[in-house]
Amino acid sequence: MPSSPFLVHPIGCIHKQEGQVWVEVDAPFREAMLGLSEFSHIYVFYWLHENDAPQQRAVLQVHPRKNPRNPLTGVFATHAPVRPYLIAMTRCRVISVTEARIYLDAIDARDGSPLIDIKCYIPHDKEQFPVRVPSWVHQNNAEIRMDE
């Protein structure tokens, strides 16, 4: 296993402005968008840059969805936006694709979040049911956010 860290440079930026949500892909990477418009949904990977501080990256356990009634849980068993490596991933519905932009239905990211990857969304032919989740997942649904 390599002992040196991997370097991840942003390849673009997420924008949420005036009721519109889009991903702007930087010029050197736009060729990689070919064919994206044929997908209804994509996974957007971004860096939780606002939490990129040693104190927040040292958090290993949280009360999911910031609700103290939810049991203390390891961040790997959540989607908490504090974690050692600040990779966030959200499935999004594509509205339209231009040369440089992917307009989205919505995304649980802050305006200005650095984009680090995009992958197409392909539904699983064989859904691996039954799916089991802890009870906190079904509580407090009004507070659910994809990034928590």
Binding site for a second copy (CB under 8 A): 1-2, 5-11, 13, 25, 29, 31-36, 38-43, 45, 47, 49, 52, 60-61, 71-79, 83-87, 89, 91, 93, 105, 112, 114, 116-125, 128, 130-134, 137, 141
> Which residue's CB is nearer to a second copy, number 18 or number 38?
38
Q: Could you tell me if 39 and 104 are in contact, meaning their C-beta atoms sit under 8 angstroms apart?
A: no
User: Which among 145, 1, 2, 140 has a CA at the least distance from the CA of 71?
Assistant: 140
CB-wise, 20 or 37, nearer to a second copy? 37
- Enter the tokens of residue 29: 């990477």
Question: Smallest distance from the beta carbon of 19 to a second copy, in angstroms?
Answer: 20
Nearer to a second copy, 18 or 124 (CB): 124
Please say whether the beta carbons of 11 and 45 come within 8 A.
no
Closer by beta carbon to a second copy, 22 or else 47: 47
Q: Which long-range CB contacts under 8 A does 53-57 form with residues at least 24 apart?
A: 56/82, 57/82, 57/83, 57/84, 57/85, 57/86
